[in-house]
Amino acid sequence: MAAPAADPTLEPTPPSQQEKTLHMTVLASPDMANFSGRVHGGSLLKLLDQVAYACAARYCKSYCVTVSLDHVFFKEPIQVGELITVLAHVNYVGSSSLEIGVKVVAENLKTLAKRHTNSCYFTMVCMDEDGKPTQAPPLIIESEAERRLFKAAQMRRELRKEVMARNQALHEASGEPLPGTAVSGPTH
């Protein structure tokens, strides 16, 4: 009698060839609170930057810097006393830059209810020993989900470049810096 076919859903997931994902959990403590007693947006962003850095540096096995942060979405507030889990993933690798997608899940310790509270995208740059951008390890796409993340990140990279180029053109057309913007610089 032929052996029954293996159920692919019961097979262990093969280990990834690269360190692309990092999860970090912390307790939302009173020192993270704002005047309303909930977690301050700035405190959360600092935590997210640290996790994005750790995810990028672990993937690159090298020092990385944050060059930009976008699509920051504060979907729901986080209460002091909740458990904050930050999920970071390398979505895309260009030459020296990487997009790290970040999702935040808050958990109420009494009800165990979990909520997706925040998300954002960090662009990090892989740096060499001399503090110059250097080639990051090319991304190996290992699943359909990773392919979708990659394509979405590629689209955001194009959008970032276009927004920066159009912003730069506005600066140049007006002949003076737009209020609230940084000094003019190269477009990417």
Residues that bind ligand COA (CB under 6 A): 65-68, 94-97, 123, 125, 133, 160, 188
* Strand order from edge to edge, sheet including 97-107: 21-27, 83-93, 97-107, 114-126, 64-74
Closest by CA position to 69, among listed 36, 47, 40:
47
Nearer to ligand COA, 130 or 176 (CB): 130
Residue 56 burial (10 A CB sphere; 0-12, 13-18, 19+): buried
The nearest distance, CB 107 to ligand COA, in angstroms, is 29
CB of 186 to ligand COA, least distance (A): 6
Closest distance of CB 161 from ligand COA, Å: 7
What minimum distance in Å lies between the beta carbon of 114 and ligand COA?
30
When CB distances to ligand COA are compared, the closest residue is 94
**Shortest Å, Cβ 130 to ligand COA:** 11
| Nearer residue to ligand COA within complex by CB, 107 or 154 | 154
∠ at Cα 107 (104, 109), nearest 5°? 155
Q: Name the residue nearer to ligand COA (CB basis): 116 or 166.
A: 166
Measured from the CB atom, the residue of 94 and 137 that comes closer to ligand COA is 94
Closer by beta carbon to ligand COA, 32 or else 125: 125
